[in-house]
């Protein structure tokens, strides 16, 4: 089946085989022209509201830039493809050129989701990532989540410094290579999610402020750059159409919206999601996931499917490692109680003041939400990569306690997310990497070191100097979890993940619609018991002991009489004594 084309207000739209419409919002410009290689520039007609438009006799593959009043050549902010880097020419694309093999794919319902987050560049680009899909499907993963792929400066970047939100990163492959990846995933029964960044642009290669300063706010900023002004209709349209574009032209199954706490007004999020959903064809499953430090449970009641649960991660990290620096300080007091709250109610902070945030109250009550409203992870790109040396839990935690935590994560009714390499017990770091030059490279390196100056281990300047440089190619290479040497127990880890995900699919997944937490209990330091009523009336009970000591189960606690369907340790009766570093799970069928 021929490809799908989104109807965009911005950029180059192919309207016939040899005719293209160009549109640019440039309210600060008096004149703009389309500069096509080996041709004289074509003047664009200035319309009301700062829009410029031109119809040019050219087709797919045409390389072009916009020429501003002063002669500056800039890429199309809505470029569908770049010739090289962010400073190169934009390329006219025919969205219908790709022939989809799995055009009838309708996606999967949210409750079936098992997310696997990966970095496309470390996986060998779009083609290399596609080659990894069969083994992920065999493992039990149901959805692959790509870290941001919007065109960024250089060839190495996490992706959160993108500056051309419509253009897939050229070093990863062509637009058709990306479509082939998604097409292959759908053929294997895998959903594909995309991480999108709408709260800022990267520090290099963004020219929008030159011809459309109204795109940004003068009254606020973000930690990463100028704040985007979503109050402007044209700006709002730019990002709403971007979300529609990824879902329609590329057939992504879902979007993860990065750091939406940096987006104002908050109401724009629901407006955006509502309009985007209205463009999704009937019967197709499309899912929206938030990263939101403000813990706004109200956003999860209808428009958004779930939120990454940083609270649950932070308290699990404290219990597994004993670390309490930085934002972990908020979870160091009574961490077992906080773990129980996260498993039962979702957020730990539901309006309580945060010490780390200077006493600011954070969050809304989340107990009313389904457990599937929360994405539960032990690691992700942030929680590993924002460490100075990018250490994984395999190097920080007791191996048995980590295995018990993995079982708790994958068997709970929350939606699990696995970060690439976890399933192999990788001990290789995931570091922060970029590909900047000259002064910006120096600024990024020194800024990275300043970030850690307040932490006691890095008070010594020589220690800070040992932090890997983000722009060193070796930093990127060291971050490949699949590089040599592989973990000695790689196959054991894969077998554990395969077994747990098989149990999740066979015992839990089909019962998740309508699931609700019932109650729970702290059994001891690092040990909890939690019970959920699943959608078909069955009772799911999980007992997890992440601590180093045996924990007795109180006599008054009534556990199922049957054997657990998952037992992380043998040798003791978990109905009476829970062994150290172990997880057990029971299912009591509905009466």
| Active-site annotation, residues | 258, 291
Check if the beta carbon of residue 295 is closer than 8 Å to that of residue 364: yes
The 3-class secondary structure across 363-379, one letter per residue, is: CCCCCCCCHHHEEEECC
Residue 306, SS3 per DSSP: strand
Enumerate residues 6+ apart whose C-beta is below 8 A from 395.
427
Cβ distance 371 to 417 under 8 Å?
no
Distance CA 369, CA 346 (A): 8
| Cα distance between residue 450 and residue 448, in whole Å | 6
Residues 6+ apart with CB under 8 A from 325: 455, 456
Going by C-beta distance under 8 Å and a sequence separation of 6 or more, which residues neighbour residue 37?
A: 62, 63, 64, 89
Alpha-carbon dihedral angle through residues 29, 31, 34, 40, given to the nearest 10 degrees: -150
Place of tokens 């906080």: 338
By residue count, the chain amounts to: 591
Closest CA to 397 of 342, 319, 475: 319
- Order the strands of the 51-56 sheet from edge to edge: 11-16, 19-25, 51-56, 45-46
Q: Which residues pair with residue 23 across a beta bridge?
A: 11, 53
């Amino acid at each position: 089946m021929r490809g799908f084309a989104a109807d965009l207000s911005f950029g180059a739209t192919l309207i016939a085989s040899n005719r293209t419409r160009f549109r640019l919002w440039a309210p600060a410009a008096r004149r703009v022209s389309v500069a096509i290689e080996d041709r004289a520039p074509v003047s664009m007609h200035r319309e009301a509201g700062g829009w410029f438009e031109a119809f040019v006799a050219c087709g797919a593959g045409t390389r072009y830039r916009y020429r501003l009043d002063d002669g500056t050549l800039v890429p199309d902010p809505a470029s569908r493809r770049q010739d090289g880097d962010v400073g190169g020419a934009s390329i006219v694309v025919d969205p219908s050129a790709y022939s989809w093999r799995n055009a009838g794919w309708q996606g999967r319902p949210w409750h079936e989701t098992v997310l696997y987050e990966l970095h496309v560049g470390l996986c060998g680009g779009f083609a290399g990532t596609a080659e990894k899909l069969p083994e992920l499907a065999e493992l039990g993963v149901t959805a692959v989540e790509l870290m941001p792929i919007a065109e960024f400066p250089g060839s190495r970047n996490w992706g959160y410094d993108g500056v051309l939100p419509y253009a897939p990163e050229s070093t990863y492959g062509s637009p058709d290579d990306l479509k082939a990846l998604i097409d292959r995933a759908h053929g294997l029964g895998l959903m594909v999610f995309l991480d999108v960044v709408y709260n800022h642009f990267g520090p290099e290669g963004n020219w929008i402020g030159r011809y459309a300063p109204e795109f940004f706010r003068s009254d606020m900023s973000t930690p990463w750059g100028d704040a985007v002004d979503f109050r402007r209709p044209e700006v709002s349209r730019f990002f709403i159409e971007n979300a529609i574009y990824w879902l329609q032209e590329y057939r992504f199954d879902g979007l993860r919206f990065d750091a939406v706490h940096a987006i104002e007004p908050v109401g724009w999020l629901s407006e955006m999601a509502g309009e985007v959903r209205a463009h999704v064809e009937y019967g197709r499953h499309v899912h929206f996931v938030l990263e939101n430090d403000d813990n706004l449970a109200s956003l999860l009641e209808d428009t958004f499917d779930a939120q990454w649960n940083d609270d649950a991660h932070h308290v699990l990290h404290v219990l597994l490692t004993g670390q309490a620096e930085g934002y972990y300080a908020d979870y160091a007091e009574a961490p077992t109680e906080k773990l129980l709250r996260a498993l039962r109610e979702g957020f730990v902070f539901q309006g309580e003041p945060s010490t780390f945030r200077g006493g600011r109250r954070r969050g809304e009550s989340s107990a009313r939400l389904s457990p599937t409203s929360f994405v539960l992870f032990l690691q992700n790109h942030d929680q590993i990569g924002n460490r100075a040396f990018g250490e994984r839990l395999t190097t920080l935690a007791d191996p048995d306690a980590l295995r018990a935590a993995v079982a708790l994560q994958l068997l709970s009714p929350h939606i699990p997310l696995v970060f690439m390499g976890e399933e192999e017990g990788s001990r290789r770091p995931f570091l922060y990497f970029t590909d900047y030059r000259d002064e910006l490279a120096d600024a990024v390196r020194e800024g990275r070191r300043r970030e850690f100056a307040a932490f006691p281990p890095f008070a010594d300047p020589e220690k800070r100097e040992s932090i890997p440089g983000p722009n060193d190619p070796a930093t990127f290479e060291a971050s490949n979890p699949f590089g040599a040497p592989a973990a000695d127990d790689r196959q054991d880890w894969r077998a554990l993940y395969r077994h747990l995900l098989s149990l999740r699919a066979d015992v839990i997944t089909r019962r998740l619609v309508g699931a609700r937490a019932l109650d729970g209990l702290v059994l001891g330091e690092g040990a909890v018991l939690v019970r959920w009523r699943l959608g078909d009336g069955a009772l799911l009970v999980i007992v997890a002991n992440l601590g180093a000591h045996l924990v007795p189960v109180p006599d008054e606690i009534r556990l199922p009489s049957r054997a657990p369907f998952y037992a992380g340790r043998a040798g003791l009766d978990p109905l009476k004594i829970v062994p150290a570093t172990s997880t057990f799970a029971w299912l009591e069928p509905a009466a």
